[in-house]
Amino acid sequence: MLRPEDVPHRFNVASHFVDGNLDAGRGDRPALITAGGATTYAELAELVNRAGNALLELGVRRGDRVLLALSDGVEFVATWYAAQKIGAVTAEVYTYLPVKDYAYFLRYTGARVVVVDQVTMDPVRQAAEAADATDAVDATEATDATEATDAAEAPGGPRTLVVVGDADAEKLRPGEHSFGALVSCASPHLDAAPTTGDDVAIWKFTTGSTGAPKACVHPARSPLLSFDWYARGVLDISGDDVVLPVPKLFFGYARDLAALFPFGVGGAGVVFPERSTPERIFELIERHRPTILVNVPTMMSAMLAHPAAATADLSSLRLCTSAGEALPMELARRWHDTFGVDVVDGIGSSEAYHIYISTRPGAARRPGSLGQVVPGYTARVVGEDGTPLPDGSVGLLEVSGDTVALEYHGAPQKSAATFVGDRTVRSGDLFERDADGFFYYRGRADDLLKVGGVWVAPSEIEHCLIAHPDVLECAVVGHTVEGLVRPRAYVVLRHGASVTASDLQELARAQLSPHKYPRDVRFVAALPRTANGKLDRRTLRDLA
């Protein structure tokens, strides 16, 4: 296992994960697989160099932020590594955000260059005008948003837009450039900036499920250590692996697993610009025969409910990862019974860079457990005052390891409350640990409901209801009746389901304590989701 002190002082993310494959004689191996064919490591390295020279020509220097707001593809990956190679700091955002959210990210990052495509060009243009017209975040944003924005640095010069795709030169405005035109004129040779493992390299945004997104500031060593500890130490990723991500690359969970971790061993990632749907994922598995599917429980449930599940051939997969939200035991069982594919369930965070607790491939699962700590990390369950709790107690999870972020950018108060010690993050997740070191997720501290004077975890009710064969998804939030909090369940049913609200209430009564059953069950077509695919409880609470 790689120790933090083993990371070379002089370290550049692009040099290691891209150029390192050329040094190892793997230049002709596929790095990325798209609908148009494979891009080899040699071809990717040249595009990285050209894009890096183009960024330098646009005035980007070491420490400047480069914001990516474009669809998944070779250009996304090449530009990300190009920014890394010249010593800039990368940040990425979703491609289907409203204008006000892009304006927030432009103000917050102070990005020197923003890379867009045909999907994001117009909303980012409008956002740039909005961002330039005001210095404050709307007062309706969460409490940390104002603190973060006030502390964010100004752009430091005119903001430049780089447009990927068909960019008609006549339609480009001043300060806008065609990506294709820039890289075609740029040199294919580029020396990496003399960065170190301690230099800030990556901003990973929180999901924004409980407030405006904040950037977790990571040094260059974080991806290298996470690669060694999780990708190698848990997944045993190899040069034979082909990784297909369900989430899009702006989500660090997917970006690292598809376009960084495989590059550490000469493997390949599948990238595609379209939205992920069950049909598209089944099609890509059939076409490209990946060995690892990077998944989330929502898509696992949708794939199981799809008519193609009965005939889909997933035999190329040696494992499916799950993260981003809790994986119900019943859903994991149905997945394995239907497809015969092992699920490696884990939990990580932007604050700790990637996955820090995980089950193990091929190992027998302990019912309800998320597994054990990933090599390189330590984890403990603590009370609100930080005092360690004995095994079997439910408390907040603290994780320590050298991939923990340095801070939330521009949010010192929130940073002090979250990053509580040397490379230690105190999460808002409630966990229980058993005597053998297996961890059990008990929900989010801020999601708990006090029903009849007793704390109730919504996840416990959700996992009970999803065991019903007619239930595709469900979410439980609190609603107030005459001043008393009661659980309300929002349920998505399978097509043709006949189950009633009373049926589900009786199921909960039979399996849970009396005060935990949902007093109100509402059937909906879909649950609201954040851009990362996580359940958006804030929207549900507003409905409640």
List domains and CATH numbers for the chain: 9-28+37-217 (3.40.50.980), 220-444 (3.40.50.12780), 448-543 (3.30.300.30)
Tokens matching residue 11: 């370290």
| 65 pLDDT more than 80 | yes
Is 156 in a helix, a strand, or coil?
coil
Mean pLDDT confidence for 209-231: 92
pLDDT at 326: 84
Beta bridge partners of 430: 396
How many Å apart are CA 56 and CA 58, to the nearest integer?
A: 5
| 254 φ/ψ angles, rounded to the nearest 5 degrees | -80, -40
Query: What is the chain's mean pLDDT, rounded?
Result: 91
pLDDT of residue 459 exceeding 70: yes
Is 244 in contact with 281 (CB distance < 8 Å)? yes
Place of tokens 């409008």: 126
pLDDT (mean) for 170-196? 95
Q: In whole angstroms, what is the distance from residue 86 CA to residue 498 CA?
A: 59
In the structure encoding, which two tokens stand for residue 383, read together?
A: 């009370």
**Pick from 306, 327, 296, 332: which is nearest to 530 by CA?**
296
Task: Give residue 158's pLDDT.
Answer: 57
Is the separation of the CB atoms in 13 and 201 below 8 Å? Answer: yes
Q: In whole angstroms, what is the distance from residue 10 CA to residue 156 CA?
A: 28
Which run of H or E residues covers position 114? Answer: strand 113-116
Q: CA 302, 303, 305, 311: dihedral to nearest 10 degrees?
A: 170
Is residue 142 scored above 70 in pLDDT? no
37, with CB counted inside 10 A (0-12, 13-18, 19+), is: exposed
Q: Using CA atoms, how far apart are residues 322 and 337, in angstroms rounded to an integer? A: 16
Q: Is the pLDDT of residue 147 over 70?
A: no
Buried b (16+ CB within 10 A) or exposed e, 49-64: bbbbbbbbebebeeeb
Whether the per-residue pLDDT at 156 is higher than 80: the answer is no
pLDDT at 170 over 90: no
* Residue (of 68, 332, 95) closest to 203 by Cα position: 68
* Percent of the chain as helix, strand, coil, to the nearest 5: 35, 25, 40
Q: CB 3: neighbour CB atoms within 10 A? A: 10
Cβ distance 451 to 514 under 8 Å? Answer: no
- What six digits make up the tokens of 350? 């932007």
Q: Give CA–CA dist 248/356, Å, rounded.
A: 21
Weakest-pLDDT range from 12-16, 109-113, 165-169: 165-169
27-36, 239-248, 272-281, 325-334: segment of lowest average pLDDT:
325-334
Residue 134 has what pLDDT?
62
Average pLDDT of the residues in 159-184: 89
* pLDDT number for residue 273: 97
With beta carbons less than 8 A apart as the criterion, state whether 492 and 474 touch.
Answer: yes
- H-helix or E-strand containing 225? helix 221-226
- Asked if residue 70 has pLDDT above 50, the reply is yes
Position with higher pLDDT, 485 vs 278: 278
CA distance 290 to 268: 9
pLDDT 10s digits, 329-343: 889 999 999 999 999
- 69 contacts 79 by C-beta, under 8 angstroms: no
Check residue 23 and give its pLDDT: 98
CA distance 475 to 456: 14
Closest to 403 in 3D by CA, of 429, 427, 374, 423: 423
Check: CB of residue 175 under 8 Å from CB of residue 163. no
pLDDT band at 526 (very low <50, low <70, confident <90, very high): very high
Provide the pLDDT for residue 438: 97
Please tell me the predicted confidence (pLDDT) of residue 151. 39
Positive or negative torsion for Cα 210, 214, 217, 218: positive
pLDDT at 166 over 90: no
Most confident of 38-47, 328-337, 524-533: 38-47
3-state class (DSSP) for residue 33: strand
Secondary structure (DSSP) of 328-373? -HHHHHHHHHHH---EEEEEE-STTSSEEEE--TTSPPPTTEEEEE
Range with the lowest mean pLDDT among 46-60, 203-217, 346-360?
203-217
Three state DSSP letters for 384-406: CCCCECCCCCEEEEEEECCCCCC
Quick one: average pLDDT of 445-474? 86
pLDDT in tens, 252-296: 999 999 999 999 999 999 999 999 999 999 999 999 999 999 999
Q: What's residue 328's pLDDT?
A: 87
The pLDDT of residue 110 is above 70: yes
In which band, very low, low, confident or very high, does the pLDDT at 152 lie, cut at 50, 70 and 90?
very low
> Length of the chain in residues, anyone?
544
Q: pLDDT band at 210, cuts 50/70/90?
A: low
Question: Which residue bears the tokens 């007619």?
Answer: 470
